[in-house]
Structure 1
Amino acid sequence: MAAVAQRPTGPRRVRARRWRVALRYLALVVVLLVMTGPFLWQLSTSLKGATEDIYTSPPRLLPQHPTVDSYRHVAEIIPVWDFVWNSVKVALSNVATNVVGAAMAGYALARLRFRGRAAAKTVFVLALLVPMEATMLAQFATMRSLDLNNTLVAVVLPGCIGAMNVLLMRNAFSAIPYEIEEAAIVDGANVWQRFTRIALPAVKGTLAVVAIFSFMGAWDDFLWPLIVLSDSEHFTLTVGLNYLHGTFSDNQRVVAAGTIIAVAPLIVMFACLQRLFFRGVGEGAVKG
C-alpha cells in the first residue's frame, strides 16, 4: 500500500503560509507599479520646471524644483476649462441616461414576462459583438439627418444606453429573490413601485458600476467627438488636448499637465463611489 504523503505541520506549515502571503503581496506590488507607474511619471513630468531635464538617465521621478507653470501654460494655449465643462456635460448626461435607461431595461428583461424577452436579450448580446467603428458612419449620417452635427447632443446620443450596462443591470435584478417581489404584489404594489422601492435599493452597487463605466467611457472618448464636432467651442477635453501638440514644438511638460487635468475627475469619481463599486461584485443581497 503506497505511503500517503503527509502535509507539512508546525513550523514548516507556518513558513509555507508566510511564503505564499509574501508572493501574493509581491504580485500586488508589481501590478500596482505597472498600473500607476505611467500616471506617476506624467504627474512628475508636469511638475518639473523648464530648466529641469525630463530625459535624464537614470530617470528621476521626484522633481527637483516643483512648479505648476505647466498647468498655467495649458490654460494659455487652449481654453481648457471650457473643454472641461463640455466634457462634464457630456459625461454627466451619459451617466444619467445609462443609469436610468439601463436600469429600466434591465428590470424589464429580468423581472417582467412579455413576448420576445429572450429575443431582446439576444439583441443586446449581439450588440456587444459589433465594433463601434462599424456603426460610426451610420451614426454620423443619422446625426446629420437630424441636424445635430456639431452639437454636444450628437456626442451623447450614440452612447446614451449601453448594451453592456443593460446586461449588467439584468443580472443584478435577476439575483433578487422572487419571494420578496411576490410579497410586494400581495401587498398591492404595482410594477413601478416594485421597481423603485424594492429592486433599485437592492442593486446600488451595480448602479455605481454602470455610473463609473458610463462616465469613463464618455470622458475618455476621442474618436466620435472628433468626427461629429467641428466648432472648437463645442470640443470636449480629449479633443481639445490634441492641440497641445504643436506642429514645430512639443512641450512634454505641458502635455503631461493636460493629461493630469483629464485624469483627475476620473480619480475623484472612483474615490467617491469605490465602496458601492466593490459592493456591486456581490450584488443581489437584500437587507431588511
Structure 2
Amino acid sequence: MTAIALNRAAPRKLLRRLPDYLLLLALSFACVYPFLWTLGIAVGDGEQVFDFPPPLWPQGAGWRHFAAVWDAIPLGRFFWNSLWISGLTTLGTLAVSALAAFPLAKLRFRGRQAVFYAIIATLLLPSEINFISNYVTISRLGLDDTRLGVVLPSIAGAFGIYLMKHAFEEIPDEIVDAARMDGASDWQVFRRICLPLSLPYLATLGIFTLVWSWNVYVWPSVVLKTPDLYPLSVGVLYLKGAFATSTRMVAAGAVLTILPVLAVFALCQRYFMRGMDGAVK
C-alpha cells in the first residue's frame, strides 16, 4: 500500500511544482536568449539582423565575421590586457577582502561593528562617485595610462569584505581558540584554518570579481589613453566606425569577449554553487 500511495503522490507533487518549473524555465530562457541572439547576429548574413522576431539561428550562417574581427583589431593584445587586468584585480580583491574580513570576524576590538557598518554603507554609493578622487590619486602616483592604475582602485570592495566576514564567522570559535591554545598566532589561524575552510566563498568572490573586471568599461576607458593597453571591453569598440558600423562584427567581438568568462564559470561552477549556498544561509 505504501508503494502504491507513493506512486500516486508523485504525479500530484509534480503538478504542484509545475508552475515553479515553468517559471524557472522562462527565467532561464530570458537569461540565455540575449547571448543566443548575439551569436545569431554574429554568424548570420544579409539584413536578417533587423528581422522581427529575430531568428535564433539565421540562414547562411558562417564564421567569417569572427575572422574579420581578428583581422580588424589586435584581438590577441586586447585579450592579454584583459587577462592581466582581470587576473590581478581578482587576486588583489581576494587578498584584501580576506585580510580585512578576518579581524572583523575573529578579533575583538573597540569599534569593530562601527567599522563594519561604515564599510557596508559604501554599497549604497554608486562607483562613479569615486572616479574623480581615484583618478587624481593614481595620477599623482604616476599610474595614469597604466594597467596597474586600472587595477588598484578596484581591489578593495565592501561586497568582498562582507562575503568573507560571513565565511569566517561560520568557522566555530572553538577551533580558533584551540589553535591559539596550541600557540598559533593570528596569522597562522588566518592562513592555516580560516582560509582553507573558506575556499567555496573565495571561489565565489573570485568568479564575481573576474566577471565584473573582465566586462568593466568606464573606468579603463577613463584611465587608459594608449590603445595598446586597452582590454577587450574597450578595444572591441574599435569595430564601431565613425560613419558606419558592421553590426555583425560588433556582435562577433562581443561573443569573443564573453566566451572566456563562460569557460571560467563552467570550470568553477561547483565551487560557485557551494559558496552561494553558504552565503544565503
TM over 0.5: yes
- Which residue of 42, 49, 61 maps to 1:46? 42
**Aligned-pair CA distance for 1:18:** 2.5
Give the total of aligned pairs: 275
Matched residue SS, 1:193 = helix
CA distance in 2, matches of 1:120, 1:68: 53
CA distance in 2, matches of 1:11, 1:188: 59
Contact 2:65/2:252 (CA < 8 Å) preserved in 1?
yes
1:31-50 CA-partner distances (Å, limit 9, x unpaired): 0110000101111111123x
Instruction: Name the residue aligned to 2:200.
Output: 205
Instruction: Name the residue aligned to 1:28.
Output: 24
The structure with more helix, counted as a fraction of residues: 2
CA distance in 2, matches of 1:132, 1:14: 50
Give the TM-score normalised by structure 1. Answer: 0.89
- Which residue of 85, 105, 110 maps to 2:105? 110
Give the TM-score normalised by structure 2. Answer: 0.91
The letter for the 2-side match of 1:223 is V
Structure 1: 5+ residue stretches without partners: 1-8
The correspondence of residues 73-222 of structure 1 with structure 2, limited to 5 A, is 73-222=68-217
* Aligned CA-pair RMSD: 2.0
CA distance in 2, matches of 1:21, 1:118: 42
- The structure-2 alpha-carbon separation of the partners of 1:89 and 1:246, relative to structure 1 and needing over 3 Å to count, comes to same
Q: Please, which moves more after superposition, 124-133 or 259-268?
A: 124-133
1:204-224 CA-partner distances (Å, limit 9, x unpaired): 111011101111121111111
- The structure-2 alpha-carbon separation of the partners of 1:181 and 1:61, relative to structure 1 and needing over 3 Å to count, comes to same
Q: Please, which moves more after superposition, 112-121 or 134-143?
A: 112-121
Percent sequence identity over matched residues? Answer: 35
Contact 1:202/1:283 (CA < 8 Å) preserved in 2?
no
Decide which structure has the larger Cα Rg and report it.
1
The letter for the 1-side match of 2:96 is G
CA distance in 2, matches of 1:173, 1:243: 44
Contact 1:206/1:277 (CA < 8 Å) preserved in 2?
yes
- The structure-2 alpha-carbon separation of the partners of 1:123 and 1:86, relative to structure 1 and needing over 3 Å to count, comes to same
